[in-house]
Amino acid sequence: MKHRERGLSWWLLVAFLVIVLGISIFPFVFALSTALRPRSELFRFPPTWLPETWAWKNFVDVWTAVPLLRYIGNSVVISGLATLFNMACAIPAGYALARLRFPGKRLFRQALLVTQMFSPVVLVIGLFRLMSRVHLVDTSASLIITYAALSLAFSVWFLAGYFESIPMEIEEAAMMDGCTRVGALVRVVLPMSKPALVAALVFAFIWGWNEFMIALTFISTPDKRTLPLGIYAFLGQYSVDWNYLMAAALIAGGPVLILFLLIEKHLVKGLTAGAVK
C-alpha cells in the first residue's frame, strides 16, 4: 500500500513538473514558430503550430532590416560599464554594511530592500529632469549612470549577506600578518566571495540588458538605441513585423543564455550561500 502511494505521489509530481515546464517553454516555442514564418502566414486563420513554409532567412534578414549589430554593441557597452560601476560601489558598501557598526544599520539594510519595491516607471520623470539639468539626455552616459544606480541597492544587500557568512577570524589573521583592512578585503574576502560577486554581476548586467522604459525616455537618436529599443522599431504605426520581431527577440536572448551557461556553477553557489543569511 505504501509502495503504491509513493508511486502515485511520484507520478503526480512528474505530471506537475511537466505542466510547469510546458507553461515555461510555451512562449519560446511560440516565438520560434512565429520567427520562422513568412509574412503571408502570420495572420492565417485557423492558426497552425508549425509554419507551412520555413522562413529561416528571417534570422538573416533581421540584421539588415534594422542595424541590429549596432544595437547589440550599444547594449553590451552600456550594460557592461553600468555593471562595472555598480560592482565598484557595491563591494565596499556591502563590506562596510557587513563589518562596520553604526547607528541605524539595521534600518538602512531594510531600506535597501524597500527601494527595490519601486518600479523604475515611477522614477523615470524625476530621472529625466535630473539628466536634463546635467545635459546628459540622449547620451549613453545617462543610461550607464542610471542602470548602475538602480541595481546598486540589491547588489549591496546581496553582497553584505555573503560577506557576513565569511568568518571574521580569517580577516583578523590576514591583518596580523601585515594586511590592512583593504588588503584583507582584496586578498582574502573577495577571492572567497567569487560566487556572490558573479551572481551580483549577472543580476546587474541582465537588468541593464533588458531595460526598456528608461532607454525609451532618455534616448532619441537612432544610432544610440539599445537592443530593446532596436527590437521596438519593428512595431510600426500601422503594422507589426511579428516574424522579424520574434527573431530579433530570440537573438537578443542568446548572449544572456551563453553568459548563464558559462557561469552557472558560480551563480548557483552565490544564490544559495550567504544570500539568505
Is 88 inside any structural domain? yes
Angle at 232 between CA 250 and CA 80, to 5 degrees: 65
| 3-class DSSP state of 49 | coil
Q: Is the pLDDT of residue 274 over 50?
A: no
Distance (Å, rounded) from C-alpha 270 to C-alpha 272?
Answer: 6
Q: What would the pLDDT profile of 88-133 be if each residue is shown by its tens digit?
A: 999 999 998 888 888 887 888 778 777 777 777 888 888 999 999 9
Is 115 inside any structural domain? yes
| CATH code assigned at 196 | 1.10.3720.10
pTM above 0.85, yes or no: no
Is 57 inside any structural domain? no
Is 243 inside any structural domain? yes
Least confident interval from 57-71, 113-127, 211-225, 256-270: 256-270
Residues in contact with 33: Cβ distance below 8 Å, sequence separation at least 6, in sequence order: 49, 50, 51
Handedness of CA 80, 83, 89, 91 (dihedral sign): negative
Distance (Å, rounded) from C-alpha 205 to C-alpha 202?
Answer: 5
What are the strands, taking DSSP E only, across 4-86? none
Contact (CB, 8 A) for 215 and 204:
no
- Residue 133 C-alpha cell reads as 539639468
Q: For the chain, what is the mean pLDDT?
A: 84
Is 84 inside any structural domain? yes
Domains identified in the chain, total number = 1
H and E: helices and strands count for the chain? 15, 0
Distance (Å, rounded) from C-alpha 29 to C-alpha 275?
Answer: 33
Distance (Å, rounded) from C-alpha 214 to C-alpha 128?
Answer: 9
Is 255 inside any structural domain? yes
Is 202 inside any structural domain? yes
Q: Percent of the chain scored above 90 by pLDDT? A: 23
DSSP calls for 165-211 = TS-HHHHHHHHHTT--HHHHIIIIIHHHTHHHHHHHHHHHHHHHHH-
Distance (Å, rounded) from C-alpha 145 to C-alpha 113?
Answer: 20
Domain that holds residue 243: 68-272
- Residue 272 C-alpha cell reads as 544559495
Angle at 117 between CA 114 and CA 121, to 5 degrees: 130
Task: Count the Cβ atoms, other than its own, within 10 Å of residue 234.
Answer: 20
Q: Is the pLDDT of residue 149 over 50?
A: yes
Task: Give the total residue count for the chain.
Answer: 277
Is 43 inside any structural domain? no
Distance (Å, rounded) from C-alpha 72 to C-alpha 102?
Answer: 43
Can you tell me which residue has the cell 552600456? Answer: 78
Residues in contact with 158: Cβ distance below 8 Å, sequence separation at least 6, in sequence order: 94, 196, 199, 200, 203, 275
Q: What would the pLDDT profile of 246-255 be if each residue is shown by its tens digit?
A: 898 888 888 8
- Residue 141 C-alpha cell reads as 552616459
Residues in contact with 2: Cβ distance below 8 Å, sequence separation at least 6, in sequence order: none
| pLDDT at res. 277 | 44
Q: What would the pLDDT profile of 199-229 be if each residue is shown by its tens digit?
A: 888 889 999 999 999 999 999 898 899 999 9
